[in-house]
Amino acid sequence: MAMPKKSRRQEQHEEKAWTLDAPGEEILALFGAGAVTAAGEAVSSESAMRVPAVAAAIRTIAETVASLPIHVFKRSADGGRERDRDHAAAKVLERPAPWLDAYTFKLRLVLDAIRHGRGIAVAARGGGEVRELHRIAPGALRVEHDDLTGEPAYVLTPKTGGERRYEWVDVVDIVPVPSDGAPPSLIHLGREAIGFAAILQKHGSRLFANGARPSGLLSFEGNLSATEIRNRIAVWNAAHGGAKSGGTAAMDRKAEYTALTLSSVDAQFLELWRFAILEIARLFRLPPHMLGELDRATHANSEEMGLQFVSYTLRPWLDLIEGALSRVLLSEAERETHFLEFQLDDLTRGNIATRFAALHTAIGGPFLTTNEGRAIENRPAIEGGDALNQPQGVVAPRADAGATVQDEPSANLRVVA
């Protein structure tokens, strides 16, 4: 007897939405649970944010990406490009939804992608065009993949019941760490390093709370009553405590003061804490100085580390988001003539003296016009600023220069003697 043929949907493998039978990090967090590390610390997307270095790393990436503008550009026939402000996608990027500004939209998507492994928004279309983008909470969508092609489809189960199915052309799906199953979050991948930092943080708190050490000991000859001990401590603190330290001590009987210092084990705690910060910086591919670890940061290398942040930390995120938005906001035909791009000018420009010196060099030669240089600095064009400045001793080529001299490499320039 022939077996019934499976439908296309049955041949797909699924990334299910989170349930009590298969809880995700969000459900575990509701019960105060999370992945338990070797250090004995349970780490979830919520508890990880209580580690300052982790919170700083996540906020640095998400807030920087959210602050960068993304525009629609049109390719010109001469290989250049120009911003297309009238494209429908440009209006959606400026305000993805009436209740959601562009900054918050990008911020929530990147936060979801870092903390939960995936950031998702669905398109609301009208007249065949995308009118709005709606962010979907982590775990609310079930993702189905075709076994042969890997083509994804997304199934939303609203609280009101039923199912709503979205094709990939209607879903902005940002997955920083792809996987054959449910994509892991960076928090999950780095839970051991985060748990280690959390344990150190708790140890430091206990060290200066229940097990705090005084700055020194006062020793007296003979036995003192409890009242005498309290009186002498009060006199000492009144005379030498706080801003009065450093004065001359005087007691009514022979006394000895012994200063207390941290033991070698406690001093090593500072090194371990620095190592924990470096581990978290590695997890998020951040330069350590962006997490407040300035041990190797100098004035000479700070600018270079800033460029590394743009190239190796932000650039992969920006490419990922540009691709995800392009798949939804641009049709297949439009992707031949249009593209989306984040603007990095504010991050890559140097200090004002270096920047102006570079522009002066470019505008002073046959490379940029005055108005092109002014446009880089977001300044309006001026009259007569569209002509290239020719270097001294060089004049512009004549219209018939190519016809008279074709084989000479410098035929397009005439040097004035």
Closest CA to 72 of 373, 369, 328, 381: 328
pLDDT digits 0-9 by tens, 21-52: 445 555 554 444 566 788 788 888 899 999 99
In sign, the C-alpha dihedral spanning 234, 239, 242, 245 is negative
Question: Residue 259 is inside which H or E element, if any?
Answer: strand 255-259
Q: Read out DSSP for 303-326?
A: HHHHHHIIIIIIHHHHHHHHHHHH
What per-residue confidence (pLDDT) applies to 77? 79
Residue tagged 């459900």 (tokens): 27
Long-range contact set of residues 94-98: C-beta below 8 Å, sequence gap at least 24: 96/121, 96/132, 96/133, 96/134, 96/135, 97/132, 97/133, 97/134, 98/132
Q: What letter does residue 416 receive in the DSSP assignment?
A: -
The values of phi and psi at residue 203, to 5°, are: -60, -45
338-347, 349-358, 379-388: least confidently modelled range: 349-358
What per-residue confidence (pLDDT) applies to 32? 47
Burial grade of 192 (CB within 10 A; 0-12, 13-18, 19 or more):
middle
Is residue 194 within 8 Å of 48, Cβ to Cβ?
yes
Closest CA to 340 of 84, 153, 70: 70
pLDDT digits 0-9 by tens, 147-175: 888 899 999 988 787 889 999 999 999 99
Separation of alpha carbons 336 and 377, rounded Å: 30
pLDDT digits 0-9 by tens, 240-282: 666 556 666 666 667 777 766 656 556 677 788 889 999 999 9
Closest CA to 54 of 267, 254, 292: 292
88-97, 187-196, 293-302: least confidently modelled range: 293-302
Regarding pTM above 0.95, the answer is no
What per-residue confidence (pLDDT) applies to 155? 93
End-to-end CA distance of the chain: 97
What per-residue confidence (pLDDT) applies to 406? 46
Separation of alpha carbons 391 and 394, rounded Å: 6
Q: What percent of the chain is modeled with pLDDT above 70? A: 75
What per-residue confidence (pLDDT) applies to 1? 44
Residue type, 275: F
Is residue 288 within 8 Å of 296, Cβ to Cβ?
yes
Is residue 25 within 8 Å of 116, Cβ to Cβ?
yes
What per-residue confidence (pLDDT) applies to 234? 79
Average pLDDT over residues 185-209: 85
Q: Per-residue pLDDT for 98 more than 70?
A: yes
